């Protein structure tokens, strides 16, 4: 994503929020690792890996107003701000710091949540459903425009997943090959998610080849329109109330 935008001569402002990542494959303008030392936090507070990430984010969130000032200063220079959150989804989505950071951004800038899923590992209908339930929970938690990006289409095309989302019968046929006890639950859940699928923005991309990114930015512009139309008025109302 960063390379694509640099190629378009539209360099993004990039923020890394994952304190436990070893190597970033892209240059970051703001990196949580410069502020919070993850291993030190684990040692100091006697925490495991996930607890260390949560506490690092909590510490960083107390200074997020400064990050907001940096973003505001870069508004004219960078059209896009990319914020990379920790890979452990629940650590960011369901933590206080995740909510603080998300709401701080959404109250000031058009904000879109991008859920990246591994298409090659979702060919099993039960794994696919697990991904969709994650996506659904994040959508309802963040209450922001939402795009599902099906990555790794260079390994396998994402058309099977689109078909599963659009055709209940096809998904049922795939499930019939499964004999585990979870398949019955998955069958029920697929009916529940029908409403979720109908309004979902889905894009297939390959991070390696860069294919599908034009389609992604098309969906992104629609998501920004959705933010302006449906979400900004609500945030302005909340700000006025406060």
User: For residue range 156-170, what is the model confidence (pLDDT) as tens digits?
Assistant: 999 999 999 999 889
Q: What is the pLDDT confidence band of residue 220, given thresholds at 50, 70 and 90?
A: very high
Specify the pLDDT at position 194: 84
- CATH 3.40.50.300 domain range(s) in the chain: 1-109, 111-241
pLDDT at 120 over 80: yes
Specify the pLDDT at position 222: 97
The whole-angstrom separation of Cα 234 and Cα 14 is: 27
State how far the alpha carbon of 137 is from the alpha carbons of 19, 88, 106, 131, 228, in Å: 24, 14, 18, 10, 22
111-241 topology per CATH: Rossmann fold (3.40.50)
What CATH code would you report for 1-109? Answer: 3.40.50.300
Contact 74, 11 (CB under 8 A): no
pLDDT at 101 over 80: yes
pTM: 0.92
User: For residue range 37-52, what is the model confidence (pLDDT) as tens digits?
Assistant: 999 999 999 999 999 9
DSSP 109: S
């Amino acid at each position: 994503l960063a390379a694509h935008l640099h190629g378009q001569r539209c360099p993004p402002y990039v923020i890394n929020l994952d304190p436990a990542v070893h190597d970033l494959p892209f240059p970051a303008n703001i990196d949580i690792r410069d502020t919070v030392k993850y291993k030190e936090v684990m040692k100091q507070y006697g925490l495991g890996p996930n607890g260390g990430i949560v506490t690092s984010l909590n510490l960083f969130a107390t200074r997020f107003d400064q990050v907001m000032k940096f973003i505001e200063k870069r508004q004219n220079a960078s059209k896009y701000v990319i914020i990379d959150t920790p890979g452990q989804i629940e650590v960011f989505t369901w933590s206080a710091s995740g909510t603080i950071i998300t709401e701080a951004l959404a109250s000031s800038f058009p904000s879109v949540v991008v859920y990246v899923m591994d298409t090659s590992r979702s060919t099993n209908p039960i794994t696919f459903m697990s991904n969709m339930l994650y996506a659904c929970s994040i959508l309802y938690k963040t209450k922001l425009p939402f795009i599902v990006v099906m990555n790794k289409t260079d390994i396998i095309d994402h058309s099977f997943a689109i078909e599963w989302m659009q055709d209940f019968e096809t998904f049922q046929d795939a499930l019939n090959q499964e004999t585990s006890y979870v398949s019955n639950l998955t069958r029920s859940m697929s009916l529940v998610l029908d409403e979720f699928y109908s309004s979902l923005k889905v894009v297939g991309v390959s991070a390696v080849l860069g294919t599908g990114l034009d389609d992604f930015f098309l969906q992104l512009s629609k998501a920004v329109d959705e933010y302006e139309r449906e979400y900004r008025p609500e945030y302005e109302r909340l700000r006025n109330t406060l």
